[in-house]
Structure 1
Amino acid sequence: MPDPGDSLEATEKNRGLLLVVSGPSGVGKTTIVHRIIDRFDGVFSVSATTRECSSHETDGVDYFFLDEPTFQSWIDEGRFLEFAQVFGRSSYGTPKGPVEDQLRAGQLVVLDIDVQGAIQVRASTPEAFGVFILPPNEDELLRRLRARGREDEATIERRFAEARHEMTTARTCGAYDAFVVNDELERVVEETVGLIESRLAGRSATGQ
């Protein structure tokens, strides 16, 4: 008769990897995340938000669009891996259910979240692999923010100040396993791929 423990062990052995990626605005994080997903045939975690759904977005595909009472009920029921609520602004969170289903299916699941979210994920899911993307230097980050041409100078300066704070916090919060510098796209993608492969190989070697 098969041992039920064998099935559980096999399930855990084939479990996917939760990858947390963070970085300040303008660092090139989104492009890197999409390249990583393509390389590993991974999936991008769909966040929940209380902001309005725009005409080009689809509920459940781009975001799970919730009203504030529903979002709060999800918090109360423990249905988020991480969430952020800022008074007067839209709330965002990562639903647990879809992430858990994808991990059980053996997939690489990518969360593109900020440092505060990463700290929450580290506390609840210590086996997650955290990568923080840094700019080559602060001057280059400021140049990239301005080069986007989407915001006025006051907004750019605010984003830059937030980015500096985020980078300082990231280095000391214990939520990240690796820091990579985006000085050249192909190089940083290959470095990140190597880090993920090493993590997967190390986990296989220890049976985790």
Structure 2
Amino acid sequence: MTTAVSQGATPVPPEGRTRLTVLSGPSGVGKSTVVAHLRKEHPEVWLSVSATTRRPRPGERHGVHYFFMDNEEFDKLIANGELLEWAEFAGNRYGTPRKAVTERLEAGGQVLLEIDLQGARLVRESMPDALLVFLAPPSWDELVRRLTGRGTEAPEVIERRLTAARTELAAEPEFDVTLVNTSVGEVSAELLALMRADD
């Protein structure tokens, strides 16, 4: 059963704009799976596509899963202030294009960001009214199983992810709400309910 835990007062968006929802949590917790399920059932929810310097994984497409770019292109986005947030993780950089997010919010759309802890903290600074949702694993052992079972990364990358995951789990109190990912369907429904709470 999915557990929703409120950490504090729910942020309120400025009048005339919907609230930005940020989903974060440790690597391997299932953020992408939850988001994919949510958007399949509710395609009206708009997911911001991040820019990254990471190489594509099998099956990933440019402009759909990420905007894949080199370091020089990413540097230009930073220099021009075109990123809402950006962070470096496991040797690669990830960032959220600012313009598309603000335009969707001002149009009244439901906007979801799926980003890491560093990014969530930066969004909190630049958009204090954003709702930060922490996706937690059922247990540490389950998180380790998911990370090592991917089979897409080298052992040293997995070890870096496990080290980062310990830090990310400790940051849970910084978030407004915690959802425990025991069921993709249930946690997706909980997330959608949170997004619609201010409609």
Deviation at 1:154, TM superposition (A): 5.2
Matched to 2:184, the amino acid is: L
**Alignment partner for residue 82 of structure 2, among 62, 79, 83?**
79
If the length of structure 1 is used for normalisation, what is the TM-score?
Answer: 0.75
Compare relative contact order (CA 8 Å, sep 6+) and give the higher one, 1 or 2.
2
| Closer/same/farther in 2, CA of residues 52 and 180 from structure 1, 3 Å limit | closer
| Closer/same/farther in 2, CA of residues 169 and 150 from structure 1, 3 Å limit | same
Instruction: Find the counterpart in structure 2 of residue 128 from structure 1.
Output: 130
Deviation at 1:42, TM superposition (A): 1.0
Once the two structures are superposed, residues 150-188 of structure 1 have per-residue CA deviations (whole angstroms, 9 ceiling, x without a partner) of 4465544442222111111233xx3x2101111122322
Q: SS of the counterpart of 1:196?
A: helix
| Closer/same/farther in 2, CA of residues 57 and 29 from structure 1, 3 Å limit | closer
Deviation at 1:59, TM superposition (A): 4.4
Instruction: Find the counterpart in structure 2 of residue 97 from structure 1.
Output: 99
**Would you tell me which structure has more helix in proportion to its own residues?**
1
Instruction: Find the counterpart in structure 1 of residue 66 from structure 2.
Output: 63
**Structure 1 residues 97-106 or 29-38, which shifts more?**
29-38
Distance in 2 of aligned mates of 1:185 and 1:58: 23
| Closer/same/farther in 2, CA of residues 152 and 180 from structure 1, 3 Å limit | same
**Structure 1 outlier segments of 4+, above 6 Å:** 53-56
Contact residue 132 and residue 170 of structure 1 kept, 8 A: yes
Once the two structures are superposed, residues 45-93 of structure 1 have per-residue CA deviations (whole angstroms, 9 ceiling, x without a partner) of 111223456896654444334443332232222211101246x933221
1:192 aligns with 2:191: yes
Matched to 2:163, the amino acid is: A
Larger radius of gyration: 1
Distance in 2 of aligned mates of 1:185 and 1:27: 11
Distance in 2 of aligned mates of 1:13 and 1:34: 29
Unpaired runs of at least 5, structure 1: 1-11, 202-208
Once the two structures are superposed, residues 112-157 of structure 1 have per-residue CA deviations (whole angstroms, 9 ceiling, x without a partner) of 1100000000000111111110011111212222333444655444
Distance in 1 of aligned mates of 2:58 and 2:177: 38
Matched to 1:43, the amino acid is: W
Instruction: Find the counterpart in structure 1 of residue 46 from structure 2.
Output: 43
Task: Among all aligned residue pairs of Structure 1 and Structure 2, give the percentage whose two residues are the same amino acid.
Answer: 43
| Closer/same/farther in 2, CA of residues 27 and 85 from structure 1, 3 Å limit | closer
Distance in 2 of aligned mates of 1:153 and 1:67: 24
Contact residue 40 and residue 108 of structure 1 kept, 8 A: no
Distance in 2 of aligned mates of 1:149 and 1:85: 22
| Closer/same/farther in 2, CA of residues 189 and 90 from structure 1, 3 Å limit | closer
| Closer/same/farther in 2, CA of residues 197 and 47 from structure 1, 3 Å limit | same
Instruction: Find the counterpart in structure 2 of residue 107 from structure 1.
Output: 109
Contact residue 19 and residue 131 of structure 1 kept, 8 A: yes
Instruction: Find the counterpart in structure 2 of residue 16 from structure 1.
Output: 18
